[in-house]
Structure 1
Amino acid sequence: MSVQVRQMVKSFGTFRAIDDLSVTFQSGKISVLLGASGCGKTTTLRCIAGLENPNGGEIRIEDEPVFSSARGIDLPPEKRRLGMVFQSYAVWPHLTVKGNVGMPLRAQKVPKEQIERRVQETLAVVGLSEQADKSAMKLSGGQQQRVSIARCLVGNPRLILMDEPLSNLDARLRVEMRNEIRQLQQRIGATILFVTHDQEEAMSLADEIFLFNKGKVEQQGSPEDLYFRPAVRYVAEFLGKANLFPVTLRGEAGQTAIYAAGSDHLITKGDIVRPRGDEALCMIRPESWQIGLAEGDRVGLPATVLEAVFVGDRRELHVDTPIGRQIVVTPGHQRFSAGARISLTIASQQIHLLPDRL
């Protein structure tokens, strides 16, 4: 089920949490609403769920209006045919696993035999069939979150909303659960809107990321698009680490040559997508630099290692270069000591140019 939000506004007093937001979340996909605290992502989710009332605009679920300020439409949450999974597991401690999962159906006065069948089917989907008769409080954190997901699924919602559902789990369980959510979505073909502030979680789960900032979406697209082809500086800096420095662009022999601004130091040249004008902000991801041994100052960009930080699978080098301090990522097994002299090279396709200025 697709979700269309048009010109939505939501204010809390003088604070505008959502500022004229217009986005479409695609049917059958995992759309991740990503951003820092207070950016508007959770408020957007709660407005779609009917837990918050926008001050203006329209929300449609599969082209059916569930909220419209102009037409006076505001369906209550229970009539929007959606399910929601919160940060808290919210399991009832006095009930078994199947008792927890069946609670929404009992509230709807669904016949007992139908409840039994649908609960069993849903527990099978989330891999909890063998835990059905156990107390929900005796399950692990990951299993309790699966109970809350099953409780959401048992009513066959056309849309699933998840508000930071993994934030209470430890690091290992978070990885396991996001893999399970991805596999679950692929099995049932659900439309999922997933709110998180965790970049790695967003990148690994999303079909499409919506990066929020100050009540607006700065950029939407695939994880690869936002990481390698950010539209603005905010996106480049929010997702991962980025080396940013001003450059001058020159046409040379049918190619675009990129020089450090205010110098004749050539960074690279090639068939490069360039913004208008002869100046731009160059973005290079730390892992895109290629490291070689320094041979005088003639090979690549000369650099001196200031600090080498070992983080397991990779080593982060902070280096000093003629274009300023850069961050370089190399495999963890490669050793570098402070003071080592290296050279850095970059392929033209590993560079992204932004119209921004420093």
Structure 2
Amino acid sequence: MNISGLICPVTKRPLTTLAADHLTTADGSISYPVKDKIPILLGPEAVTEQLPWPRNVRSPQYDEAYSEMEFYNKAGYAHAKEIRDQGTLDNSDSAGLRHLGSIGKLSEAERGPFPESSTWFSETIDIAAERDCYGHIGPVKGKRVIQIGGKGIVAVLLLMAGASEAMLLTPMHGEACVAMELAALFGFKDRLRCLVGIAEEIPIEDRHVDVCYVGGCVHHMRTEVAFLEMARILTPGGKFAAIEPWRAPGYTLGTKIFGKREPNAFCSPLDKARVSPIYKAFADARYVQHGSLTRYPAIVAQKAGLVLSVPQAAWVADVDDAICNCIPFARKLGSGVALLATK
């Protein structure tokens, strides 16, 4: 198991010694468990006599992860078993997994270059933001990339696009297991590393990755800490991109009437105040809003079972942006956003 570049998330000391079921600092004073070849690098999981030490799983940086761990681990283990047993993603209930499976069947020529080819896109609600993000981080050929949060779908997709190595950091061991199965399915076992941890305490050394991608998870983070951490692990000139929901006018009323896209007590869309730390963390940063006219209706339609194809969604997004570009301040009403930054 490759442990290069791993550090204690609390002290930032290198983790250099690997045993069968734990990973430790050189002097053995701090140790973290390893489960299914996945290091569990969460502060409260450390074995150490060092004091003081963060043990309270209800503290702000850990609360959401530990509160939702049982649910997401259960779902992740089920997905991982399904992939392992079936050896295909064709029948998955996840559109993202089915899309990844379809790309995996294509030759390099059929896929086309990343990110120029539309083959790489899978979002229907947030395709405009997805195009912004992929355009910002691409091309990725020969680069070391990391996905923070999720099942590793984009991490594996970027390996297909030519990345030399990919990492996944998620607080959910079950999601990491899904990523490991995906890597095995597509022949990337030696090029994907999975870690259990949080963005506020990234267990990776400084300047270790060239690209950092987040898909719908920044709004769950303490951004004043997470942006600094994500910038820290990037190489000079490294790229950060994230697709996120934005707290647009009408959000409160809309969620009361139609419910959230995904029910979650911790889900809180971004706004200017929560995004503002990005400007301190990165040399260059901006955000681009989309979906002023059509994103909320598209979410409602999806809840009713009406899902557009990717080309249809792209056309709708282009029309939405074109109309709103002609109306002062209309783009600022967009409820979807792409965060784009360069170190």
Q: Give the shorter-chain TM-score range.
A: under 0.3
TM-score, length of structure 2 as denominator length = 0.28
Q: Which has the higher helix share?
A: 2
Q: Rg bigger for which structure? A: 1
Q: Which has the higher strand share?
A: 1
